[in-house]
Chains A and B, each alone.
Chain A
Amino acid sequence: MKKILFFWVLVFLSVGSGGFLCAGNENWRDDFDRICAHTADVDKLSSEELDGLIVESGELLQIVESSDDPEKKIYLIRLKKCRNFFIFMKGIAENSADN
């Protein structure tokens, strides 16, 4: 009886943890979509908003790097490109302000 109970506890834990990991994956993908979508409206963003995106994308890079998702290599490169683009646009905005 104890063995059966232990078995079901194990099953419950494995299903539960799997669900948790999926939710974690979905979260970083949602954040990825939200952050990288701003490459399409970057001309409307303020300098502060660009700063925020640069920080957020830097933080997300660390989260994606620690993920076990087999697709992470693609997301990592794209996220780096998005971040570099925000930094680039920040530079353009600062340059325009100086002139």
Chain B
Amino acid sequence: MNNARRKVFNGGKGDVNHPQRLLVMMLVLVALIASSGEVYAGKFWDLPPLPKRHEYGDILIDRLSSKNEVKPVFFSHWSHRAKYTCRVCHWELDFAFEVGGTEMTEADNRNGLYCGKCHDGKVAFGHTEDNCQRCHTGTKASNLEKFNKLRDDLQKDKFGNGINWTAAIRSERIKPLYSIFKPEEKPLGFRKRLELKAEWNFVPPAIFPHNVHVRWLDCGSCHPDIFKIKKKTTEHFLMKYILEEKFCGVCHLRVAFPMDDCKRCHPGLH
């Protein structure tokens, strides 16, 4: 977790012991909501800092690189997700969701596993010595020009990459591959919409639409590793856990749209 967080108000879980202070804080909270017209979670929650749009979702993979005196590997989510669904890498190619959680080696890549599955010199630039510097940059080096060109063609969003990826895939402005092994494979037609009761009475429920998620992911991507839930036991999806990168926080803090826009998940908020 990044320690440099935008801490404004931590949802009332700080050193608020005095009832009057609590009342004042609640009044400030109500005033903030009323005055802004829009509800941004960054005002109330300790969210990770938002990078520039073209750098949102960028990661540096350094499981073995530095140990082997090689610069860490840069990976940009936006440039890949326009062509491939999350499922391709995080299911078919077995990349863990956690940065550095994949036991990937140089030899694996050369044997056509992980990045090497596509970066073979045919589908994408090859995993060869003359291309080392293209991935082993050691810094997050997203191409702003390419990003802007992509974003110009897609529906906009307020946070994250500033791209509404859900709208982009629904409207087929992007057609990311669902499977690189079986082109005929299609997303599961599972449309169940979950309504998750919020922690506070004044906050309307969060809505979880399965159909939006199964376009990008496999059922097994989330169940049971991330969401090992049984019916009617969704009460423990607390914001504090999500902010610890559990549950929705696995994706919705640094890659999928961030939680700054409360209304994306709590559409009933005014």
Contact = CB atoms under 8 A, between A and B. Distances in A.
Contacts of A33: 182
B224 A95 contact: no
Interface string B222-259: 01110010111000000000000000000000000000
A74 B93 contact: yes
B113 A39 contact: no
A71 B225 CA distance: 22
Given A40-B188, A88-B223, A95-B231, 16 more contacts: A39-B218, A39-B219, A40-B185, A40-B186, A40-B218, A43-B190, A71-B113, A73-B113, A74-B93, A82-B220, A85-B220, A88-B224, A92-B231, A95-B230, A96-B231, A99-B232
A27 interface: no
26 contacts: A33-B182, A39-B220, A40-B186, A41-B188, A42-B219, A43-B188, A43-B190, A70-B108, A70-B111, A71-B111, A73-B94, A73-B103, A74-B93, A74-B113, A81-B91, A81-B220, A81-B225, A82-B220, A85-B220, A85-B224, A89-B223, A91-B230, A92-B230, A95-B230, A96-B231, A99-B232
Query: A interface, how many residues as a size bin?
Result: 20 to 34
A62 to B, nearest CB: 19
B62 interface: no
Interface in B94-145: 94, 103, 108, 111-114
B94 A74 contact: yes
Query: B interface, how many residues as a size bin?
Result: 20 to 34
B268 to A, nearest CB: 27
* Max count, chain B CB within 10 A of own CB: residue among A71, A88, A92: A88
Contacts of A71: 111-113
B92 interface: yes
Nearest to B231: A95
Nearest to B218: A39
Nearest to A91: B230
Contacts of B94: 73-74, 77-78
Interface in A24-39: 33, 37, 39
A10 to B, nearest CB: 28
A88 B228 contact: yes
* Max count, chain A CB within 10 A of own CB: residue among B111, B185, B223, B232: B223
Interface in A53-85: 70-71, 73-74, 77-78, 81-82, 84-85
A87 interface: yes
B231 A84 contact: no
